């Protein structure tokens, strides 16, 4: 099978090293996003900075589908840990993704469930998960790789009480701001996806003075593992 992988990062730090590694054959600017089409190794890719938040991320997926006919989507970047066992520098690969900020419980829906759709969890692609695990096993990464639920919302979580509430409700491993938008857009377009995140913080406000340094390293580490995954295809 031939692949064409859409690689989305919310911020430039999350995609800049990938763009340096690729041979670019075409660029397209649309919806204030620059799409870089070409190859990483022998695999066709489109690398793009979506901007932060779920709407940007979902719109980015739709352009990847409509204008580039991607076969798979991977979201790379940083995230906050929701689980005490997951440390800064570790990685999370999504088994599924949920919205932690969707709430129509007043009308009888589960927390996180999108009204009138029956959708609450968005399962990631098992083949992509397994190949990321293989890439991690062959890489010289210092952090551990965990697989589990990613929780998304248009909030930067930095309060331990909010973090605990999200963990209790959804039993997720990490929280970020784009994954569920990407997951829903991929599901609607029948495109396999996976979310890969390196942990930059504990989502509780601790070490906030060092957050930028942690974030930059996490973004670079996630991009490096994404690159290894692509080159292994």
Q: Which positions are catalytic?
A: 14, 201
Say if CB 157 and CB 166 are below 8 A apart: yes
DSSP calls for 21-88: HSEEEEEEEETTEEEEEEEETTEEEEEEE--SSHHHHHHHHHHHHHHH--SEEEEEEEEEE-STTPPT
Say if CB 177 and CB 10 are below 8 A apart: yes
Whole-angstrom distance, CA of residue 52 vs CA of residue 56: 6
Say if CB 92 and CB 86 are below 8 A apart: yes
Strands 193-201 and 91-99: antiparallel
Measured between alpha carbons, how far is residue 136 from residues 53, 211, 218, 222, 231 in Å? 27, 24, 15, 10, 12
Q: Which residues contact 139 (CB under 8 A, 6 or more apart)?
A: 224, 225, 228
């Amino acid at each position: 099978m031939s692949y064409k992988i859409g690689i989305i990062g919310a911020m430039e730090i999350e995609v800049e090293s990938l763009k340096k590694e690729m041979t670019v054959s075409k660029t397209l600017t649309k919806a204030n996003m620059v799409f870089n089409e070409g190859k990483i190794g022998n695999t066709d890719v489109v690398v793009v900075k979506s901007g932060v938040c779920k709407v940007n991320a979902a719109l980015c997926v739709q352009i990847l589908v409509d204008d580039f006919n991607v076969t798979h989507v991977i979201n790379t970047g940083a995230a906050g840990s929701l689980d005490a066992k997951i440390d800064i520098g570790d990685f999370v690969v999504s088994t599924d993704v949920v919205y932690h900020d969707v709430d129509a419980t007043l009308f009888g829906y589960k927390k996180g469930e999108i009204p009138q759709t029956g959708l609450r969890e968005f399962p990631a692609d098992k083949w992509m998960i397994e190949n990321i695990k293989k890439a991690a096993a062959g890489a010289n990464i210092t952090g551990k790789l965990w697989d589990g639920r990613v929780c998304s919302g248009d909030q930067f979580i930095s309060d331990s009480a909010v973090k605990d509430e999200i963990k209790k409700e959804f039993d997720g491993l990490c929280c970020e701001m784009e994954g569920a938008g990407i997951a829903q857009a991929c599901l609607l377009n029948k495109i396999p996806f996976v979310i890969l995140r390196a942990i930059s913080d504990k989502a509780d406000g601790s070490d906030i003075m060092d957050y930028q340094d942690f974030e930059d390293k996490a973004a670079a580490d996630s991009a490096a593992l994404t690159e290894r995954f692509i080159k292994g295809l």
